[in-house]
Amino acid sequence: MKISMSILILGILILIIFSCKKEEKPPDPVSDIEGNKYKTVRIGTQIWMAENLKTTLFNDGSEIPIITNASDWKNLTSPGYCWYNNDIASNKDIYGALYNGFTVTTGKLCPSGWHVPTSEELQQLLDFSGDTITGGGNLKETGINYWLSPNKGATNSTGFTAVPSGLRYFEGSFTAISHFTGFWSATDVETDDESFLSLYFGDATVSIKHISKNNGLSVRCIKD
């Protein structure tokens, strides 16, 4: 009887300890050099920004050239950024900026202590989010406030909260807002290409592809 009572008391104590155990604290927000603040999220062993980068300055304080003219964008072989449709008021806070690949490869885009992910780190994110068939849905924001219907498979179970920021083609036109988003990596694939992670409204797939550095895509920074 005494043994049974001891076991019962021990079980109650264990239950109290575990019920009082605090959940892991979410990672702190991070600010860029301009003071823009970003929510962050832990996914597996990685800590990511949970919002798209919107800085107009490199982390050394130098300006990133803003390129509004389509012809200038097409001929650019150095860093540059823009807002979708050159409309900062409508797109900065929701979608962030679109950066060309030359901006990414400077290594100066993310806040101190953070960096643009390598293709291997994007692959780790993909692995944490699930398989290539359903993992994209676990990265996409739910609903159709921003994504076009049906935003298939979107659960945002990772908390990554990807929004469909579209892209700027190499020849200077804008397309695919509400349909698509792509996130640059810092890994060169070929002389003129950079890898990126691709998400789409019409399915829950996720994939890593590569595209010319002259295109404009979104950036999510990862903690060092």
Domain range for 67 is 25-223
* Spatial separation of the C-alpha atoms in residues 198 and 182, rounded to whole Å: 5
**CA neighbor of 140 nearest in space, from 221, 92, 199, 185:** 199
Residue 6, pLDDT > 80, answer no
Percent over 90 (pLDDT), the chain:
85
Q: What is the pLDDT of residues 52-97, one digit of tens each?
A: 999 999 999 999 999 999 999 999 999 999 999 999 999 999 999 9
Residue 100, pLDDT > 50, answer yes
Helix (H) or strand (E) holding 21: none
Residue 31, pLDDT > 80, answer yes
Whether 101 maps to a domain, the answer reads yes
The mean pLDDT of the chain is 91
Whether 16 maps to a domain, the answer reads no
* Spatial separation of the C-alpha atoms in residues 212 and 204, rounded to whole Å: 24
Whether 10 maps to a domain, the answer reads no
Region 104-118 average pLDDT = 97
Q: What is the pLDDT of residue 71?
A: 97
Whether 18 maps to a domain, the answer reads no
Rg (CA), the chain: 21
Residue 217, pLDDT > 70, answer yes
User: With contact defined as beta carbons under 8 Å apart, do 219 and 183 qualify?
Assistant: yes
Whether 6 maps to a domain, the answer reads no
Whether 69 maps to a domain, the answer reads yes
> Band of the pLDDT at 188, cuts 50, 70, 90?
confident
Burial class (CB in 10 A: 0-12, 13-18, 19+), 149: exposed
* Spatial separation of the C-alpha atoms in residues 67 and 83, rounded to whole Å: 9
Whether 15 maps to a domain, the answer reads no
Nearby residues of 95 by Cβ (< 8 Å), 6 or more positions away = 52, 84, 163, 164, 165, 166, 177, 218
Domain count along the chain = 1
Whether 2 maps to a domain, the answer reads no
Residue 224, pLDDT > 60, answer yes
Region 31-45 average pLDDT = 97
